[in-house]
Chains A and B, each alone.
Chain A
Amino acid sequence: MKFGVVVFPGSNCDRDMQEALQNDLKQEVVMLWHKDKDLSRFTTNDCIILPGGFSYGDYLRCGAIARFSPMMQSVIDFANSGGKVLGVCNGFQILCESHLLPGVLLRNANQQFICKNVYLKGVGGADKALKIPIAHGEGRYFADEATLNELEANNQVIYRYCDEKGQITAAANPNGAIRNIAGICNKNRNVFGMMPHPERACTSALGNIDGRIILKTLIMQPQPAFV
């Protein structure tokens, strides 16, 4: 399988994702320019990644403009035909704006940008809480009760903020996300969105490689392993 990483003009985690996949996980990566539309070399066994950053500046709602970019039209088609798509941080916001995933990402509860390590419970983290960095100003996941209940019923919540010991507590919730939600997938389990940055925890020189577990279990397997 191979990976396509979409480059919006304001993407700034595109290279980080490319390096994590190529250098740390030894995967084939193709960079995709936002003005292009062609995804013909990708099959539904492959995976398209929307990286973090500020796509088109995000002076409007985050991801609101990116949703209309030429490449996103192809990504939406790709997702609808069953191809795997992962959105990280700004990518998650874009997936919600594109209605590929339900819900929205609101300003953090403390109204400030937050960058730090957090712990996650979810896919690939059955044995231990995964230490992964976050870096966002608008990462407070929110959806109405009906949607949330449906997400839970279908096992679509893929990551929740927890403490070091794996306990899902209010104190471990960095941004006020409802039900501590850090990441979700769609009903068909081929579109994934998460605020934390697994690509920032893949290189051993940085002293944390928990991100490899996420990328491996979530998108590098034919069928993602769910907890």
Chain B
Amino acid sequence: MEITAKTAAQLRITEEEFELIKERLGRTPNFTELCAFSGMWSEHCSYKNSIKWLKTLPRDGSKMLVKAGEENAGLMDIGDGYGVVFKIESHNHPSAIEPFQGAATGVGGIHRDIFTMGARPIASLNSLRFGKLEEAKTQHLLAGVVHGISHYGNCFGVPTVGGEVYFEQKYHTNPLVNAMSVGIVKNGETVSATAKGIGNPVFFVGSATGKDGIGGASFASADITAESAEELPAVQVGDPFQEKKLLEACLEVLQTGAVVGMQDMGAAGIICSTSEMSAKGEVGMRIDLEKVPTRQKNMKAWELLLSESQERMLMVVEKGKEKEVLDVFEKWDLPCSEIGEVTGDGILRFYMHGVLEAELPAYDLVLGGGAPQYSRNYIQPDYFSKIEAFNANSIEVPDDLRAVAEKLVTIPNIASKKAVYVQYDSMVGTGNASTNQPSDAAIVIAKPTNKGLALTTDCNSRYVFANPYKGAMIAVAEAARNIVCSGGAPLGITNCLNFGNPYDPQVYYQFVEAIKGMGEACRRFDTPVTGGNVSFYNQNPDGPVYPTPTIGMVGVLEHVNDKMTLDFKHAGDTIYLIGKSSGDINSSEYLHKIQGVEFSPAPQFDLETEFMLQEKVAALIKARVIESAHDVSEGGLFTALLESGFNRNLGVDVVATDYNIRKDGYWFGEAQSRVVVSVRSNKEEAFKRAMGIHPFEELGVVTTGSVEIDGMEWGHIEAWKALYDNAIQNIISGQESGHALSAL
């Protein structure tokens, strides 16, 4: 078979890249070798269109135990001799065409990234985006994705403790499925994804290899089109039971001290793990592909190299200690085969029954090595003019604010996601301290220490759409605010950057500006970016998704019992708003969903104001002068007040004191940097003293259940809770949810 630029194009390798490959090899690659480049130089594995900008993010910090991007996930010090390992990753493309397996293997993949470093996963989160919930296609995707996450995560035995779900038309064809895993490891017990020691045997462990997921990495590096469903074989199939055994066996085998290096097989399978481990250790490998256990007969070399069959690991073992390793996998009934050895010349040689099928320098294949890095052009998107043209004064303040509020709390982006999260095992591991005592971030005990981890994923992508720079800063700020309101100190982030096609300069503008904003916010909060994932090509013939740079943030509590909760505790407590009240309606759910305005600026946000707010909230919690803290986000102040009351069926009696502020903005606007707190009467003085000159205002009091707004009777908290809790299920089952609250 003659290999030409046309062959390369079929493998999604550009002409320019094909020339570069020939130059690097000094010859024309054969088909198997070209396949290896196709996988490794795909956007998904090489970050070729993003890495230059990613390097501008703050990636250093005193608590970072490995450098960003150096290992499979970020590793940070939490004290007491333990580290937290965390990462978020997308599985958008597979989930678009096969939601169940797409989401399931997304969960499996991210957990493997954690335990391949020697850490035990203790919590997972996810960030999901779908089209409008009313659409049948959305309901199909939602059901499949949630079932997939639930199926895999529940069986694997790691609690799903948090996350977010948004529904917007822009995600109709391209849903986003981002999964995050968080693990704990004792300092010094981590293992590196590095191959070392010439002559050391290379082991392949876990599931047998099949033809599933071949080309997955390159499939994820293209737009979704009408023909995408034909790429179904590019979607992998997950087996959580196998992964559970793999987890236990891998953690057990590390205790033997026989393992030199280990890496999971995700995107681009064997070729990715062998090349990355070799390049990092500046060694090569000889691999006998016929020794790889397969579940299908007659698999070709290129299929074996690119298969993305799940639940597999590549392991370099110290020569002479093979038996110790084999015994552990025997105990767990997992296949474990020696498939090759480490060599000294930096070349990967893949043999099939003694015939050399591919001979490739490891360095040339990998990110940071020979993989191309591009600078792309970017220009300000055309739609910005529509955003600039928006004038809030063109929106009249509605007369019946209560009717607006009743609609608002049933908007799926605001309403309770109970219909979703009840399907996830959120309590296995007995470490989720938020089940019975909710906080803005999920609080998980970092066993065996008594510390708490505060975990959250955040991104309001409509804010990012409106202003990529500011929107990305807000995403970081909100994550940090959630952690601070829960009593934690922000430690670091992982990001999942979901954007459209990077070759579209207007999309790339969103990417560049979002990175700049994220970097600035991360520097201010001292939360380095420990790693993450870029997912481009979330685009279809109708256009790209909203730019969605999801932030997964981890914070630490010195003791898990130091946590602050979001719910009002007693009737009679005073309710305060920390921060300044505002009439800003820009980019709010109210403006977008109820007033129907697609283009408006991002909500009010100032990084310094936000930072001061968080410092203040942290001080209030430390001084033990507040009973609850809940940040104001989607749905505005009114929604934040309701959410604070739901857990104990307590209501509010609150009044907007400033009559110069438009009422719809006051109650439903989403201006940033605001937190609702409640204070016991005997702590009022201490509270006010602690506030000092920081802006705050008294809103009213917690009631035994009645909701009174501006002196008007707005019904009982239980009725609002019913609206809020049942809205999503009602839409799915086709029932009207907007029935009159007063009738309840």
**Interface residues, chain A, with chain B CB atoms under 8 Å away:** 9-10, 12-13, 15-16, 19-20, 35, 52-54, 56-59, 112-117, 133, 135, 137, 197, 199-200, 202-203, 205-208
Give CA–CA (A52, B437) in the complex, Å.
Answer: 24
Contact check, B241 vs A113: say whether CB atoms are below 8 A apart: no
Contact check, B332 vs A9: say whether CB atoms are below 8 A apart: yes
Contact check, B435 vs A206: say whether CB atoms are below 8 A apart: yes
B343 near A: Cβ within 8 Å? no
Contact check, A200 vs B430: say whether CB atoms are below 8 A apart: yes
Contact check, A12 vs B437: say whether CB atoms are below 8 A apart: no
Contact check, A16 vs B423: say whether CB atoms are below 8 A apart: no
Give CA–CA (A206, B435) in the complex, Å.
Answer: 7
B646 near A: Cβ within 8 Å? no
Contact check, A205 vs B156: say whether CB atoms are below 8 A apart: no
Contact check, B154 vs A113: say whether CB atoms are below 8 A apart: yes
Give CA–CA (A70, B332) in the complex, Å.
Answer: 15
Contact check, B435 vs A207: say whether CB atoms are below 8 A apart: yes
Q: Which one of A10, A54, A57, A115 contacts B427 once the chains associate, using CB atoms below 8 Å?
A: A115
Q: A19 to chain B: which residues have CB within 8 Å? A: 430
Contact check, B423 vs A113: say whether CB atoms are below 8 A apart: yes
Contact check, B436 vs A206: say whether CB atoms are below 8 A apart: yes
Which 6 A/B pairs are nearest by Cβ-Cβ distance? A12-B157, A57-B241, A207-B436, A16-B430, A54-B155, A135-B425
Q: Known A12-B156, A205-B561, A207-B433; judge A56-B427 contact (CB<8 A).
A: no
- Known A10-B244, A205-B560, A208-B435; 4 more pairs at CB < 8 Å: A13-B428, A16-B429, A115-B427, A202-B430
Q: B436 to chain A: which residues have CB within 8 Å? A: 117, 206-208
Output the least CB separation between B649 and chain A (Å). Answer: 11
B426 near A: Cβ within 8 Å? yes
Q: A206 to chain B: which residues have CB within 8 Å? A: 430, 432-433, 435-436
B333 near A: Cβ within 8 Å? yes
Contact check, B560 vs A54: say whether CB atoms are below 8 A apart: no
Q: A137 to chain B: which residues have CB within 8 Å? A: 154
B268 near A: Cβ within 8 Å? no
B424 near A: Cβ within 8 Å? yes
Give CA–CA (A35, B426) in the complex, Å.
Answer: 29
10 contacts between A and B (CB under 8 A): A53-B157, A54-B155, A54-B244, A56-B241, A59-B241, A113-B423, A115-B425, A116-B422, A200-B428, A205-B445
* Contact mask for chain B residues 230-258; partner A; CB cutoff 8 A; 1 contact, 0 none: 00000000011110110010000000000
Output the least CB separation between A31 and chain B (Å). Answer: 12
Interface residues on B, range: 20 to 34
B150 near A: Cβ within 8 Å? yes
Give CA–CA (A54, B155) in the complex, Å.
Answer: 6
Contact check, B155 vs A57: say whether CB atoms are below 8 A apart: yes
Max chain A C-beta neighbours (<10 A), residue from B333, B432, B435: B435
Q: A56 to chain B: which residues have CB within 8 Å? A: 241
Closest residue of chain A to B160, judged by CB? A115
Contact check, B332 vs A113: say whether CB atoms are below 8 A apart: no
Max chain A C-beta neighbours (<10 A), residue from B151, B331, B422, B425: B425
Contact check, B433 vs A200: say whether CB atoms are below 8 A apart: no
Give CA–CA (A12, B435) in the complex, Å.
Answer: 19
Give CA–CA (A58, B242) in the complex, Å.
Answer: 12
Q: B241 to chain A: which residues have CB within 8 Å? A: 9-10, 54, 56-59
Give CA–CA (A225, B59) in the complex, Å.
Answer: 59
Contact check, A203 vs B430: say whether CB atoms are below 8 A apart: yes
Output the least CB separation between B705 and chain A (Å). Answer: 16
Closest residue of chain B to A199, judged by CB? B430
Closest residue of chain B to A53, judged by CB? B157
Output the least CB separation between B569 and chain A (Å). Answer: 13
Q: Which one of B150, B244, B433 contacts A12 once the chains associate, using CB atoms below 8 Å?
A: B244
* Contact mask for chain B residues 374-418; partner A; CB cutoff 8 A; 1 contact, 0 none: 000000000000000000000000000000000000000000000
Contact check, B428 vs A135: say whether CB atoms are below 8 A apart: yes
Give CA–CA (A13, B331) in the complex, Å.
Answer: 20
Contact check, A9 vs B245: say whether CB atoms are below 8 A apart: yes
Contact check, B437 vs A113: say whether CB atoms are below 8 A apart: no
Closest residue of chain B to A115, judged by CB? B425
Output the least CB separation between B177 and chain A (Å). Answer: 18
Q: B429 to chain A: which residues have CB within 8 Å? A: 15-16
Contact residues, B423-453 vs A (CB, 8 A): 423-430, 432-433, 435-437, 445
* Contact mask for chain B residues 544-570; partner A; CB cutoff 8 A; 1 contact, 0 none: 000000000000000011000000000
Closest residue of chain B to A12, judged by CB? B157
Contact check, A112 vs B430: say whether CB atoms are below 8 A apart: no
Give CA–CA (A199, B431) in the complex, Å.
Answer: 12
Q: Known A117-B436, A206-B432, A208-B436; judge A135-B427 contact (CB<8 A).
A: yes
Contact check, A113 vs B425: say whether CB atoms are below 8 A apart: yes
Q: A16 to chain B: which residues have CB within 8 Å? A: 428-430
Give CA–CA (A82, B125) in the complex, Å.
Answer: 44
Max chain B C-beta neighbours (<10 A), residue from A10, A13, A208: A10
Max chain B C-beta neighbours (<10 A), residue from A10, A54, A135, A205: A205
Q: A117 to chain B: which residues have CB within 8 Å? A: 435-436
Give CA–CA (A20, B427) in the complex, Å.
Answer: 14
Give CA–CA (A199, B154) in the complex, Å.
Answer: 17
Q: B151 to chain A: which residues have CB within 8 Å? A: 113
Give CA–CA (A20, B240) in the complex, Å.
Answer: 25
Give CA–CA (A20, B429) in the complex, Å.
Answer: 11
Contact check, A207 vs B437: say whether CB atoms are below 8 A apart: yes
Q: B426 to chain A: which residues have CB within 8 Å? A: 115
Q: Which one of B244, B423, B430, B433 contacts A9 once the chains associate, using CB atoms below 8 Å?
A: B244
Q: B154 to chain A: which residues have CB within 8 Å? A: 54, 113, 115, 135, 137
Contact check, A133 vs B427: say whether CB atoms are below 8 A apart: yes
Closest residue of chain A to B424, judged by CB? A115
Q: A58 to chain B: which residues have CB within 8 Å? A: 155, 241
Contact check, A113 vs B428: say whether CB atoms are below 8 A apart: no
Max chain A C-beta neighbours (<10 A), residue from B156, B157, B560, B561: B157
Give CA–CA (A117, B331) in the complex, Å.
Answer: 36
Contact check, B423 vs A112: say whether CB atoms are below 8 A apart: yes
Give CA–CA (A208, B430) in the complex, Å.
Answer: 11
Output the least CB separation between B148 and chain A (Å). Answer: 12
Q: B435 to chain A: which residues have CB within 8 Å? A: 117, 133, 206-208
Contact check, A20 vs B430: say whether CB atoms are below 8 A apart: yes
